Amino acid sequence: MSVRYIPVQWNRNKWVYDAFLLAMIAAYLMVFLQFGAGVADASRPVDGAILRMRAFGSCAFFLLSIILCIGPLARLDRRFLPLLYNRRHFGVMTAAVAVTHATYVITWYFAFAPTPQIEALLSSNTSFAQLLGFPIEVLGIVALLILAALAATSHDFWLSFLGAPVWKRLHLLIYPAYLAVVAHVALGYLQDADNPGFAIFFSAAALAVSGLHLAAHLAAPGTARARGPWLPVARPAEIPDKRARIVRLPGGDRAAVFRDGAQVAALSNACAHQGGPLGEGRIIDGCVTCPWHGFQYRMRDGRSPAPFTEKVPTYDLRLRDGMIEIAASANPPGTPVAPLNVEDLL
């Protein structure tokens, strides 16, 4: 794997991953279309188009919820990492399901509008000053545009072209998109629904997303704020073995100070692949391992083991009165730095 743009060939894991996702989406839609009309809270039979738009809409919401649960689950338990590696495929499928939902909405409700369908959609409700009756169509459009943009830029070409920091910030828009979807559903369908079934599943999914993110945040290694040319980090025993203490540097960058037994070394907190938080990872097989996609770096020089070519900046460390201190300025990526031996302080 490389951060340079190199066409990535499909492999068995990708085929299995995508086939499983497609099977789960198809199964959900089939079950919803088969039984959804029977449990719908309506005084007359639900039209087929409305049933299909509900099927695809609810499917997109649950898919997006699962996507946002994968990240914190992988941070809490590395057995979930395989789900993280091809999460971009998951996102593209979710965007396709959401587009299908939007297509059904527009072609059903605005098929015979005297104005263009998009214009009719945006002008049908302009009550922005009230909560109940708020134009949820706008919220859906915002979420759909974000999902489409993220799907369109999910390929490694855009990661290489935009650079990891910009690409990562762009894809953090998934969170505003999710909030827009939650509001879209809560202010729309749930306001008229009498059957509590969907509301229960909807609330459980939203709570799972927020709860897992909070749990992952609380479980992450502590962050120390640093100032000056040499910055205090922690005493050696305060850094968990094979884990890191994250240090916020004066310029806004962050360093991850890892301890492997009696050896302590510091690397940039940003993985060279997609800017993943190295400080939330662990040392596996002697290498710092990114919790996002498993990229690895040697502690002594910040370089990936051969044949990989990635490298991250390193930092100088020193011991002073039993406290580990870090230099405020980073060394160039891949610069060797001898780890501190802290055996006498453990």
Q: What is the pLDDT of residues 126-143, one digit of tens each?
A: 777 777 778 888 999 999
pLDDT top residue among 5 and 188: 188
The pLDDT-based confidence of 76 (bands split at 50, 70, 90) is confident
Closest C-alpha among 302, 260, 300 to residue 278: 302
Residues 153-165, buried b or exposed e (16+ Cβ, 10 A)? bbebebbeeeebe
pLDDT top residue among 192 and 91: 91
Reply yes or no on whether the pLDDT at 17 is more than 90.
no
Give me the residues paired with residue 234 across strands. 324
Reply yes or no on whether the pLDDT at 274 is more than 90.
no
pLDDT score recorded for residue 222: 57
Reply yes or no on whether the pLDDT at 216 is more than 50.
yes
% of the chain at pLDDT higher than 90 = 48
| Cα–Cα separations (whole angstroms), residue 293 to 20, 202, 217 | 20, 29, 18
pLDDT score recorded for residue 161: 81
Reply yes or no on whether the pLDDT at 5 is more than 60.
no
Q: What is the pLDDT of residues 51-61, one digit of tens each?
A: 898 899 999 99
SS3 of 59-109: the string is HHHHHHHHHHHHHHHHHHCHHHHHHHHCHHHHHHHHHHHHHHHHHHHHHHH
% of the chain at pLDDT higher than 70 = 90
Query: Across all residues in the chain, what is the average pLDDT?
Result: 85
How far is 263 from 237, CA to CA, in rounded Å?
A: 12
CB contact set of 121 (below 8 Å; sequence gap of 6+): 105, 106, 109, 110, 137, 141
pLDDT score recorded for residue 1: 43
Q: What is the pLDDT of residues 165-187, one digit of tens each?
A: 788 889 999 999 999 999 998 88
| Cα–Cα separations (whole angstroms), residue 78 to 277, 281, 294, 299 | 14, 9, 10, 20
pLDDT score recorded for residue 193: 63
For residues 223 and 247, is the Cβ–Cβ distance under 8 A?
yes
Q: What is the pLDDT of residues 18-51, one digit of tens each?
A: 899 999 999 999 998 888 756 655 545 567 788 8
pLDDT score recorded for residue 217: 82
Q: What is the pLDDT of residues 143-168, one digit of tens each?
A: 999 999 999 998 877 877 887 778 88
pLDDT score recorded for residue 221: 61
The pLDDT-based confidence of 218 (bands split at 50, 70, 90) is confident
Q: Number of C-alpha atoms within 13 angstroms, CB side, residue 247? A: 30
Architecture of the domain defined by 223-345? 3-layer Sandwich (2.102)
Spans of all domains in the chain = 12-219, 223-345
The pLDDT-based confidence of 227 (bands split at 50, 70, 90) is low
Q: Is the peptide bond before 116 cis (omega within 30 degrees of 0)?
A: no
The average pLDDT across 262-288 equals: 91
Q: What is the dihedral of CA 72, 76, 78, 79, to 10 degrees?
A: -90
Reply yes or no on whether the pLDDT at 312 is more than 50.
yes
DSSP string of 107-133? HHHSTT-SS-HHHHHHHS---TT-STT
For residues 165 and 275, is the Cβ–Cβ distance under 8 A?
yes
pLDDT score recorded for residue 8: 52
How far is 111 from 254, CA to CA, in rounded Å?
A: 53
